[in-house]
Amino acid sequence: MSAQVVPGVHVSCRDNFWYWESVVLVQTLGLVAAQVFAIALDGFFQLAITLLILMAGGLVLAHCHPFEQEGPQVVQVCIVTLQAGPD
- Answer for the pair 46, 35: CB distance below 8 angstroms, yes or no: yes
Check residue 1 and give its pLDDT.
46
pLDDT band of 6, cuts 50, 70, 90: low
CA 84 to chain centre: 10
Q: What pLDDT digit, counting tens, does each position of 29-44 carry?
A: 888 888 888 777 777 8
Please give the span between the terminal C-alpha atoms of the chain, in angstroms, as a whole number. Answer: 36
Domain carrying residue 8: 2-83
- Which tens digits make up the pLDDT trace of 28-86? 888 888 888 877 777 788 888 888 888 888 788 878 888 777 777 777 777 766 765 65
pLDDT of 22: 84
Determine the Cα–Cα distance for residues 7 and 24; give it in Å rounded to an integer: 18
Q: What is the mean pLDDT of the chain?
A: 75
Q: What is the pLDDT of residue 41?
A: 77
- How many domains are there within the chain? 1
